[in-house]
Structure 1
Amino acid sequence: MTRRVLTPRNRGFLFLDSHPAGCRQLVTDMWQACPAPTDAPADGAGPVALVIGSSAGYGLAATLAGLKRAGIRGIAVSFEKAPTERRTATAGWYRTAATADLARAAGRDVVFLNGDAFSDLMKDQVADLLKERFGGRLDYLIYSVAAPRRTDPDTGTTYASVLKPIGRANRTKTLLFDDAGAPEVREVETGPAEGDDVEQTVAVMGGADWERWIDHLAGRGLLADGFTTAALSYIGSPLTEAIYRQGTIGVAKAHLEATARTLDERLGTTVGGRAVTSVNGAAVTQSSTAIPGIALYTGLLRGALGEGVVPPVHQLAALWDQLTGAAPLALDEEGRIRLDTWELTEDVQAAVAERWEAASTDTIAELADLDWFRAEVQRLYGFAVPGIDYAEPVSTDVPWPGHAA
């Protein structure tokens, strides 16, 4: 058993190691923060759900909120790396182990699978488990996948997603930290999409794989009457729309939403079910920190709202309430569930825009909640979690959750 004292080592917002105990405590904190239902299903009696992209960000929040709020059982899929002699496992590996323990303690039968969700091999594995272990019927599917590339199982072609504006270069403010942790506000320019950048990004981050999952499971006769599926999405602020909603990733999100409308019509006809996209509010995630301007925007949003920023697990608890009928299904004119309304009110956006305009290296500490933002980034990897003694050696050899019947 490998025991090490782990300290945060990073390149920008990317950390080289993850802390197992910190990741476990973070998951426990999210679980405790999730509001409990008034009438949770009895052990083994909850709906059968499949969460694709279950180990990080909103997918992790969907898994934890589904377990606690809706009493789900079923399957969770993610793609994580095991520990090696030189490196710890990825943070999602440790978060999954902690989630599995919480599910077991709550009496929820959940199988955690590690592999490529884009592959037909994973789809077959999930379908076999649903048939053999969960009665051959799936009630809910949550799709929360953010990936840099995808290989099409039919053609073998590998597509790569890019974060680029469309039509012309975009120049925006962004937030960086130097090696000593000092903040810097800098302007960065991102060149426009070229060639087939848009098509490649849509192939990875659009709705093609989501629809393939539905087709695969429907073809095996595994969709229960009333089957409901939701893909998690984001729109964001006008301050970031040039690089996000109006950029390559925005075209992919529009494709995801169009796919939802197609699936909704089909599922309504075949199983009396439905498909929706759920638009979530801003959060510090491993995916979002890679987008120019998003780090600055999120820090300023926290500076403006403080504790008014709604944590992902609270947003996903609200999603499960709507999906299960515990709360009315509230859709916008595009048929989307909106969990971001707290962020996009005129008052909030005006306050953030004023801070954005004034933001510079000299003023950023007054305008953004930098302590919170830095800690949130570290917590993605299990560091800066309250209650953890980081001077103590910790075992990095945490096994992936088994799934014996």
Structure 2
Amino acid sequence: MSLREIKPGNRGYLYVNSHPTGCTAVVDRMWQRTPDPAGDRPGPVALVIGSSAGYGLAATLVGLRAHRMRGLGIAFESAATERRTASAGWYRTARTAELAAEAGADFTFLNGDAFSDGVKDEAAEQLAARFGKIDLLIYSIAAPRRTDPLTGEVHHSVIKPLGTDYRAKTLVFEDGAPQIGELHLQAADEAERDATVQVMGGADWQMWIDALQSKGLLADGFQTVALSYVGSDITAPIYRAGTIGAAKQHLEDTARAINTQLKGSGHACTVVAGAAVTQASTAIPSIALYTSILHRVTGDSWQATVDQAAALWNQLAGDAELDLDDQDRIRLDGWEMNPGVQAAVRAAWGQADADTIATSADTDWFRDQVGQLYGWDVPGVDYEVAAETTVPWPASPSSDV
């Protein structure tokens, strides 16, 4: 037991600690927003890679509650120490596992580096022993670095433009007050571009398919999706036309390669999600300002990650038609890319300055959303009460008593 009174510690949008009670409350709120189960049919056997945060967490919660998903989630999180809390994803996973158990779901979690061969082997062993084959793989990883298991080389991703330098407005908070800052990033060189593709492209997704297929674990009609993003032309220079965009293009190329490999026995595609405040997105320059303006413009039409995950699951389960674009990508971003919405965002972006930022963008909402990624600023949580920081990772089937 390790009861502590915890205070938030952060550098900009990065928090160095998390609040277990707050993280639990965040998961509970997402669970309550998830649709109720549709019928009593057994759910698919699924592997969710990146199940503790962002769209991966949302897809896990929707799969468990609304579609009776069985299977395994993989995340890479850190436990609490004498000096630090556990990572937010650790606490979120612990609560997700409790909700899964309460719902009677046969689902467990593996903590480890999904890029490694060891985790691939362990996941395959668990899935083979418990289920035989899997119906679905959801790939949702955003990482700063990746060690290539074949070469041992460590690749580091960068967030930079390609071709020309990038100058743009950015949202910063000075003493808690929103301010407009100016950003200047130099263009990436070829080595930085290639390294980012190695980390955030489709290489690891392909390795997962190879590993599972070689062990005979892909069911007939197997589906796999990888989460991606396109976004607005406002953010294109730093996103879709930058190093991350090169990685996302590689991810889409990988989907086509996997389809060829599956030879009609399954299907792979990328999923273009809409904007969201996630631990990954807050690291991208200018995205904070863009997302704050977008939320101001969309209001009640804003689609949270759980809403988008519910739409995705409905399509994967056959309850709704696949919403595919001409590049065979599932689109969940129609609410964001609506021409009227984008025109309004573009106008507000152009006018945003020190005098108008408070009215042109939902800056308070954005700041609270960032805090909630780590369990802070969650309505209803009493942060003056000591919280238990030493929370066990969910037990694996082999350790069940």
Alignment TM class, shorter chain as reference: over 0.9
* TM-score (norm: length of structure 1): 0.97
In structure 2, stretches of 5+ residues that fail to align are none
> Which residue number in structure 2 is paired with residue 177 of structure 1?
173
Alignment of structure 1 residues 3-402 onto 2, 5 Å: 3-41=3-41, 45-134=42-131, 136-178=132-174, 180-269=175-264, 272-402=265-395
4+ residue stretches of structure 1 with deviation over 6 A? none
Residues 277 and 336 in structure 1, CA contact (< 8 A), matched pair in contact too: yes
Residues 304 and 351 in structure 1, CA contact (< 8 A), matched pair in contact too: yes
Residues 50 and 138 in structure 1, CA contact (< 8 A), matched pair in contact too: yes
Q: Give the aligned residue type for 2:15.
A: F
Q: Number of aligned pairs? A: 398
For residue 279 of structure 1, give the secondary structure of its aligned residue in structure 2: strand
CA offset at residue 40 of structure 1?
4.1
Residues 40 and 69 in structure 1, CA contact (< 8 A), matched pair in contact too: no
Residues 97 and 399 in structure 1, CA contact (< 8 A), matched pair in contact too: yes
Q: Distance in 1 between matches of 2:318 and 2:47?
A: 18
CA RMSD of aligned residues (A): 1.0
Q: Distance in 1 between matches of 2:263 and 2:181?
A: 49
Q: Distance in 2 between matches of 1:347 and 1:265?
A: 38
Q: Distance in 1 between matches of 2:282 and 2:340?
A: 25
For residue 127 of structure 1, give the secondary structure of its aligned residue in structure 2: helix
Q: Give the aligned residue type for 1:354.
A: A
For residue 130 of structure 1, give the secondary structure of its aligned residue in structure 2: helix
The superposition leaves residues 133-185 of structure 1 with CA deviations (integer Å, 9 ceiling, x where unpaired) of: 12x1010000000001111111111111111101110001110112x201111
For residue 196 of structure 1, give the secondary structure of its aligned residue in structure 2: helix
Q: Give the aligned residue type for 2:350.
A: E
Q: Distance in 1 between matches of 2:151 and 2:54?
A: 30
* TM-score (norm: length of structure 2): 0.98
Q: Distance in 2 between matches of 1:307 and 1:35?
A: 18
Q: Distance in 2 between matches of 1:370 and 1:168?
A: 29
Q: Distance in 1 between matches of 2:391 and 2:159?
A: 34
The superposition leaves residues 64-113 of structure 1 with CA deviations (integer Å, 9 ceiling, x where unpaired) of: 01111221110000000100111100000000000000000011111201
CA offset at residue 304 of structure 1?
0.9
Task: State percent identity of aligned pairs.
Answer: 57
Change (3 A) 1:249 1:364: same
CA offset at residue 268 of structure 1?
3.8
Residues 265 and 274 in structure 1, CA contact (< 8 A), matched pair in contact too: no
For residue 343 of structure 1, give the secondary structure of its aligned residue in structure 2: helix
For residue 154 of structure 1, give the secondary structure of its aligned residue in structure 2: coil
Q: Give the aligned residue type for 1:172.
A: A
Q: Distance in 2 between matches of 1:276 and 1:104?
A: 30
Change (3 A) 1:245 1:40: farther
CA offset at residue 37 of structure 1?
3.3
Residues 2 and 389 in structure 2, CA contact (< 8 A), matched pair in contact too: yes
Q: Distance in 2 between matches of 1:394 and 1:37?
A: 32
